[in-house]
Structure 1
Amino acid sequence: MNDAPETAQVRKLFGIDTSMRVPVATPPPELAEHVPQIDPAYVFDPDVTLAILSGFAHNRRVLVQGMHGTGKSTHVEQVAARLGWPCVRVNLDGHLSRLDFVGRDTVVLRDGVQVTEFAEGILPWALQRPVALLLDEYDAGRPEVMFVLQRVLEREGSLTLLDQSRVLHPHPGFRLFGTANTVGLGNTSGLYHGVQRLNHAQLDRWSVVAALDYLPAEREAEIVVGQVPGLVGRDELVSGMVQFAALTRSAFAAGDLSTLMSPRTVIAWGENVEIFGDVARSLRLSFTNKCAEDERALVAQLFQRCFDADLDDVLPATA
């Protein structure tokens, strides 16, 4: 990546009405494989896109919060793809330790002799390169991992490797993003087992926090059709699927369902419709079987409202 990358108009790249300009770059050959592939069918949320672009353009630390399936991680990746910016995605699951994140001493064979060398973890590796590091499931990280980020979350924050007696300063092209299902308050909804209550001194270091909600029905339908080309021209079917998903979300909010249908699940439903040729069967395989036994009658009622058919009936994909 060049030291002074060219800039482009956000209006031209993303169709958002703003005068903001963002850097576009040509990554070095060794990092080219980390530039995400452009999804031409991806639909951007204007507010979240501008928040993410502020991270790339002004080195802000951006945390994207929202429920599952809203496309938080993909949103960051697709912005990076259009900027030509290498992006490395890391899941902060409960198995990622501090040593995995920062690095550890390893024994290697050099000229037939065993020697001890320090193997960098993903954080120091990314910090020294023009890379956007995306911390997925940020609110599920282990406490000892989270505190490593405390200094790095500051704009020019360095990283001290105690084992190496080294201080690493960030590359000018290093960027840091995170995604989370919650806002640091823990599993208040019961949906996200394994997430942690976040230290608010650290949460305060994220200079931009964007909220990504489920899209309006028309936009969600565009995404579904874009991801499942076999549904092109089946507007009535796609509209019913999106309406059904919206009803499950309302039922979840009211406490009548213990789960809800995310856009990811709607897309999976559409893909299964192509495979099985039956809307009802595809719904059972994509969503209904995830619900509690005593909730399936309500799911059937919602299906009846959207498709004027019983969930046990065969409903061909052409309906």
Structure 2
Amino acid sequence: MNTPPELNRLDVRSVFGIDSPLKVTAFRERSEHVPDIDPDYRFNREVTLALLAGFEHNRRVMLQGLHGTGKSTHIEQVAARLNWPCVRINLDGHLSRLDLVGRDAVVLRDGQQVTEFQPGIVPWALQRPVALIFDEYDAGRPEIMFVIQRLLERDGQFTLLDQNQVIKPHPQFRLFATSNTVGLGNLNGLYHGAQQLNQAQMDRWNIVATLNQLPPEQEMAIVRARVPSMRDEARQAQLQAMVQFANLTRQGFKVGDLSTLMSPRSLISWAENLDIFGDLQLALYLSFINKGDESERPVLGEYFQRCFDQELGTP
């Protein structure tokens, strides 16, 4: 169908900045579906190696972890440096089986209305050098999950029953997924809508990697990369205290003192809002505190006092 893409080999250490002697396959040319490169992105070594194994060896990789840790972005930034086209699909409640597989549609041919089959995203991606990413994988409805199950076989062919057609995967087709849980459902009440996944399907994922809390130094580096004003030497003590506060909320969540936690995404929003409003406490309320239960504010006030040596007032 399409002209095979030209490939080359990249050195993992020089491209991703992680300690590894590996080399990986990449495309020579970028296409419209290749994500943009974020030059400031910091790669987690374990997760990066897992994703590179997926791209290089056609392994099915699931990336799980807490919300806001940048799971989908991590996959996209690996793909961006490999010039590998990506398509992200969110498995929300509005996605139907027909969206994945395809459906009959009325089209205009030579001035006549005719009915013909329009392929869904799965057969379209399966026939191309594309990395298909299923976001919020553990929120997928059962009828959706059984469509995906056959794709999890390494050389799994996809059957379009209505068309009496069997589609063989393109040699450079890859499959990834992100999830907030590892298929166990909404055990802690944090992720409403997360389903308990069929363990026979979970078993088909070749690699499951975890992306949760980052070391403080890495998290500070990410905030500095996203918010240029935080690179100022005079603001490093403040940034360190902000990261410490975020980590305290995560510990508080684990022991049940808080019903929510500050994700890296919320931490970045705090820094951005601090730039906008010039008020540390107001930015904190707008970025994080107002999202939680008001009864938990004394606990947050204690964390704030510990990190910034000042009382947390009201907005």
TM-score, normalised by the number of residues in structure 1: 0.95
Counterpart-to-counterpart distance in 2, 1:232 and 1:3: 40
- Partner deviation per Cα, 1:144-200 (whole Å, 9 max, x = no partner): 111011211111111100111100110011000000110111001111000110001
Q: Which amino acid aligns with 1:248?
A: T
Q: Which amino acid aligns with 2:266?
A: T
Q: CA deviation at 1:15?
A: 2.1
Q: Which runs of structure 2 are paired with 1:229-248 in the superposition (5 Å)?
A: 229-233=228-232, 234-248=235-249
SS at match of 2:94: coil
SS at match of 1:6: strand
SS at match of 2:163: coil
Partner residue, 1:45: 44
SS at match of 1:33: coil
RMSD between aligned alpha carbons? Answer: 1.3
SS at match of 1:163: helix
Higher mean displacement: 130-139 or 301-310: 301-310
Higher mean displacement: 258-267 or 32-41: 32-41
Counterpart-to-counterpart distance in 1, 2:120 and 2:194: 23
Contact 1:2 1:25 in 2 (8 A): no
Identity of aligned residues (%): 62
Contact 1:27 1:85 in 2 (8 A): no
Partner residue, 1:18: 20
Distance change in 2, residues 1:57/1:159 (3 Å): same
Partner residue, 2:8: 6
Q: CA deviation at 1:66?
A: 0.5
Q: CA deviation at 1:313?
A: 7.1
Partner residue, 1:284: 285
Counterpart-to-counterpart distance in 2, 1:18 and 1:249: 31
Q: CA deviation at 1:293?
A: 1.4
Partner residue, 1:271: 272
Q: CA deviation at 1:102?
A: 0.9
TM-score, normalised by the number of residues in structure 2: 0.96
Higher mean displacement: 60-69 or 113-122: 113-122
Partner residue, 2:253: 252
Contact 1:2 1:27 in 2 (8 A): no
Q: Which runs of structure 2 are paired with 1:1-319 in the superposition (5 Å)?
A: 2=4, 5-27=7-29, 32-233=31-232, 234-312=235-313
Q: CA deviation at 1:299?
A: 1.1
Counterpart-to-counterpart distance in 1, 2:89 and 2:277: 34
Counterpart-to-counterpart distance in 2, 1:16 and 1:303: 34
Q: CA deviation at 1:26?
A: 3.0
Higher mean displacement: 73-82 or 9-18: 9-18
Runs (4+) of structure 1 exceeding 4 A deviation are 1-4
- Tell me how many residue pairs correspond in the alignment: 311
Q: Which amino acid aligns with 1:302?
A: Y
Counterpart-to-counterpart distance in 2, 1:172 and 1:26: 16
Counterpart-to-counterpart distance in 1, 2:274 and 2:245: 15
Counterpart-to-counterpart distance in 1, 2:65 and 2:121: 25
Distance change in 2, residues 1:222/1:86 (3 Å): same
Counterpart-to-counterpart distance in 2, 1:252 and 1:11: 36
Give unpaired runs (5+ residues) of structure 1.
315-319
Q: Which amino acid aligns with 1:264?
A: R
